[in-house]
């Protein structure tokens, strides 16, 4: 049976490779998606999404619930620190959740230190750069 893992990406991540490369590197989101799919292998279906709109991320979390997905890897970006709605949606998901950040948010300004998503995440990864996505996919595949 194929496992389904949702990889959800929040606002401005569509700008990877162009936006603040000194923080986020030069890897594009399309390259991150390809890395996730390659890492997942044949027994894991990756459903990869990005949106700058909070409601779309919530809809994909609901979709993951209905699809009985094995897990969610989420880089909520700025919504990490502001979205009670995403937190409430994630609370409804019964399987593992990995919160992922490309940069080490704890080495950045204080505004980036209080994650709402961490309150429901099974695990948190930060500071591995875009390669952290591959690590998260491997970890999720082993957790489920």
Is 83 part of any known ligand binding site? no
* CA 98 to mean position of chain CA atoms: 7
Active site residue 101: yes
56, burial (CB in 10 Å: exposed 0-12, middle 13-18, buried 19+): middle
Extract the tokens encoding 19.
């936006």
Contact 110, 133 (CB under 8 A): no
Identified catalytic residue from 62, 101, 106, 133: 101
Identified catalytic residue from 6, 24, 112, 113: 24
- Spatial distance between the Cα atoms of 47 and 60, rounded to a whole number of angstroms: 9
Is 75 part of any known ligand binding site? yes
Is 115 part of any known ligand binding site? no
Is 102 part of any known ligand binding site? yes
Torsion of CA 77, 31, 17, 139, to 10 degrees: 40
- Spatial distance between the Cα atoms of 124 and 24, rounded to a whole number of angstroms: 17
Binding annotation: 75, 88, 102-103
Binding residues for substrate: 75, 88, 102-103
Q: Which residues are catalytic?
A: 24, 101
């Amino acid at each position: 049976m194929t496992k389904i893992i949702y990889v959800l990406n929040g606002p401005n991540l569509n700008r990877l490779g162009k936006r603040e490369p000194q923080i986020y590197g030069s890897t594009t989101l399309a390259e991150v998606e390809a890395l996730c799919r390659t890492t997942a292998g044949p027994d894991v279906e990756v459903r990869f999404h990005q949106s700058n709109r909070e409601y779309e991320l919530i809809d994909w979390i609901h979709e993951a619930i209905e699809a009985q997905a094995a897990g969610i890897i989420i880089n909520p970006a700025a919504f990490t620190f502001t979205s009670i709605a995403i937190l409430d949606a994630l609370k409804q998901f019964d399987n593992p959740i990995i919160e992922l950040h490309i940069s080490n948010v704890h080495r950045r300004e204080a505004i980036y230190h209080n994650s709402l998503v961490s309150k429901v995440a099974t695990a948190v990864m930060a500071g591995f750069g875009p390669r952290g996505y591959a690590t998260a996919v491997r970890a999720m595949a082993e957790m489920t």
